[in-house]
Amino acid sequence: MCGRFVLATPVEALAEIFEARILGTVAATPLRPSWNVAPTTGVYLVRRSPSGDREVAVAHWGLVPQWAPDTRRAANAINARLETLDAKPTFRHLLAHHRCVVPMDGYYEWATVGGGRAPWFVHRGDGRPLAAAGLWSRWGDGLETCTVITRDAAPRLAEIHHRMPVLLDHGDVAEWLEAPALPRHLCDAASDTGLEMHRVSSRVNAVRHDDEQLLDPIDPETLFG
């Protein structure tokens, strides 16, 4: 799964990387950089606008379906399993027109070590943001929420955890956002190519800790490069 991530790249840079315009409300009040993004907080997403171009918007992480009576289930829908997207009413009606990309500078995953859990930071080796496949929805009077799609982990990432976000190649973003039907082949092709990871401090376990030092390696050895 994906339960915490880093989002520190300025929105202007994200807009340039993903060839998208920034919504006026986002430009006026951009998100603060965060090295410990937690469920139900605001995140950036890139989506196709009604006019057909791409836009950078802000949504709460944790999807709330249009038909939900309240927002209490948001924390339970931060991830959507690729294998059951078509079967879950929460996600099924969003597949055609509500796909998005959730940019991340990297994400945290926890490996089971002995009787405890050790956090790792996963990121691109070239320093560019990850492009995580997602879905978004609008609830009530305009609350926008999103979820990150996950799948079985690629072999080397599976050494940490059996699930991973569906990470798109930057060159596949256009097809992901614009294809009339869910381009499942892009999800199936997601891999760990170009990713690096290293152990980090357990300080990340507490959301009150939110600083760049969370990314500092506590073990110089990386499993792959």
Q: Tens digits of per-residue pLDDT, 110-160?
A: 998 877 889 999 999 999 999 999 999 998 888 999 999 999 999 989 989
Closest Cα partner for 36 from 218, 217, 203, 220? 203
pLDDT at 114: 78
Write the CB contacts of 93 (distance below 8 Å, at least 6 apart in sequence). none
Where does 4-215 sit in CATH, by number?
Answer: 3.90.1680.10
pLDDT at residue 220 is higher than 70: no
Domain ranges of the chain: 4-215
Confidence (pLDDT) at 192: 86
